[in-house]
Amino acid sequence: MLTHIRHVTPVPPNTATGAVAEVYRQLATDFGVYAPPVVLHSPAPEALRACWALLRETLLADGLVSRRAKEVVAEAVSLGNRCPYCVDVHGAAATGLIDRPGRHPVDRDPAADPELEALAEWGRRSGEPSDRPRPPFPLAYGPELIGVAVVFHYLNRMVHVFLQESPLPATSGPVRKVALRIASRVMGGLAGVGAAPGRSVDLLPPAPIPATLGWSLGQPHIAAAMARSTRAVYAAGTQVLPERIRALVLATVADPPATTLAAGAFFDAALTALPPDERPLGRLALLTALAPYRVTAGDITACRVAGADDRTLVLAAAWASLNAAHLIGAGLDNDLTAHMDGLGTEAKGEPGSSGDGGPHSGR
């Protein structure tokens, strides 16, 4: 599966040492495979630890929300971001958990499970700048479901840049259908195994929880993973990205081009604000944040000509991806808070309410 990774050379599991080896051990135990979306970070160990902590503590760790519901959100976010690799992996996991081989949850009749369908629609449109669906879950589920959405907005960007299009055969028809059935059984089986919260948190040193991550506070392991991973990625990003690039990316993410049709010319014009020697890495960071599907092998080559190594490429993309994902998470948090304002105890999912149960809860 490591052959799925492109543009950088991952650390092979049989030669890994130190923190990389520890992440690989946890990955094999808790996820069941050396997942390429995580392993692609291995040229930058701090980003590897951060990525794993984010993924494990939101998607894998046991909590109030079922793994099935979280896999539905993971697949739906990936659909919205046009990330076929993550759609195939997490669609297979969701299908396997639902025990309906060969069909993705978002393709099912809404009457079959309207709550899962509402979650899928929310996840698919979670990256839209406005007019997102009302959050279809109580406040208590926010840390897990917003957390999964944020993590997949991050991972989808990294996968677009550094992985092949899909782990499954590129063919259509019967061959692909068989591959989907096999993947559903395998991924559903792996996803059905519980994971105790907090195991990955101590891979990174303690960090204060920023106000922008306040939505995570209801689940301490998620809050800790978010805070520690954020500080690690942001600190490492400042080592490889000049201040001018970081300022340009942050300003553009906060006020992106109105349409994707105008994006190419917009990015080219924005990059003229940078010195010529910073433009290749600036282009990689800017595209990763806003249009990762536009990153080409030529863009990677230009970064290398300008002096970037594997670690620099991974950290630049990770910094940009996480900033974009955090901005989306802040919007989802605002949506949830606005929706819950003025609602009663039952709607908020507070102790003693019906929001503590239902099809989303437990495993």
| Catalytic residue list | 86
Task: Report CA Rg, the chain.
Answer: 20
Helix (H), strand (E) at residue 69: helix 67-80
Helix (H), strand (E) at residue 191: helix 174-191
| Spatial distance between the Cα atoms of 179 and 167, rounded to a whole number of angstroms | 10
| Spatial distance between the Cα atoms of 174 and 131, rounded to a whole number of angstroms | 38
DSSP characters for 243-280?
HHHHHHHHHHHHS--S-GGGHHHHHHHHHTTS-GGGHH
| Spatial distance between the Cα atoms of 138 and 336, rounded to a whole number of angstroms | 8
Q: Are 315 and 237 in contact (CB under 8 A)?
A: yes
Helix, strand, coil tally for the chain in percent (to 5): 70, 0, 30
Supply φ then ψ for residue 335, to 5 degrees.
-60, -45
| Spatial distance between the Cα atoms of 308 and 313, rounded to a whole number of angstroms | 6
| Spatial distance between the Cα atoms of 30 and 61, rounded to a whole number of angstroms | 9
| Spatial distance between the Cα atoms of 146 and 335, rounded to a whole number of angstroms | 11
| Spatial distance between the Cα atoms of 252 and 271, rounded to a whole number of angstroms | 11
Q: For tokens 């840390």, what's the residue?
A: 143
Q: How many CB atoms lie within 10 A of CB 210?
A: 14
CA-wise closest residue to 72 among 36, 32, 103, 40? 103
Q: Are 225 and 61 in contact (CB under 8 A)?
A: no
